[in-house]
A and B are shown apart, each in its own frame.
Chain A
């Protein structure tokens, strides 16, 4: 395995704890707003690392451009979806969890 392959694999491995953290937050956080935080931020960061690793592993630049576009599309879609859910939840009067 060449050096770029090694570094790409390292990035892929680095993404795993971010995904696990996001899912753990999804399970353990007390209300929907905090869960949205966990899911959107951590998972998107993990996806960014996966995309970076994949670009390094695949040596063609056309695939790299496609991967970047996918990452941008997912970023846009998930941030806007997160906002829409949180806004709708607020309108439905779901109150954020307060520290007891």
Chain B
């Protein structure tokens, strides 16, 4: 059963690689795609772990991941990402 951990490991590595974009991404939208990344990658890891660790309740955790990733994304687009007329620029970061 632990052999299923290999695909989970590789998908985890791909999620980590995606996290580099979050650290580097010039605009705010790049950073926010982290939610999308976890929404699919994290769900996949959890589904594989459900088989690898023989715990069917992990499927419920995957469900929560999916829903919360969607919520975070909507909150970002609707409530946070605005052009601030005072500063006249977007979420442009230099770091």
B-contact bits for A1-45, CB 8 A (1 contact / 0 none): 000000001001101100110111011000010011001100110
Interface size class of A (residues with CB under 8 A): 35 or more
* B47/A67 in contact, CB under 8 A: yes
Residue pair B44, A15 in contact (C-beta under 8 Å): yes
Docked CA distance A43–B36 (Å): 9
**Chain B residues with CB below 8 A from A24, complex form:** 17
The distance in angstroms between the C-alpha atoms of A82 and B39, with both chains bound, is 12
Question: Which of chain B's residues has its CB closest to A18's CB?
Answer: B14
CB of A15 to closest CB in B, whole Å: 7
Nearest A residue to B76, CB-CB: A85
Query: Is B83 engaged at the interface, CB distance under 8 Å to the other chain?
Result: yes
B27 & A94 in contact (Cβ 8 Å cutoff): yes
A55 to B18, CA, bound (A): 27
Determine whether the beta carbon of B43 is less than 8 Å from that of A70: yes
From known contacts A66-B59, A84-B74, infer whether A16 and B51 are also in contact, taking CB-CB under 8 Å.
no
- State whether A43 and B41 are in contact (beta carbons under 8 Å apart), knowing that A19-B11, A22-B14 are contacts in the complex: yes
**The 7 nearest A-B residue pairs measured at CB:** A77-B70, A43-B40, A81-B73, A19-B14, A23-B14, A23-B18, A23-B17
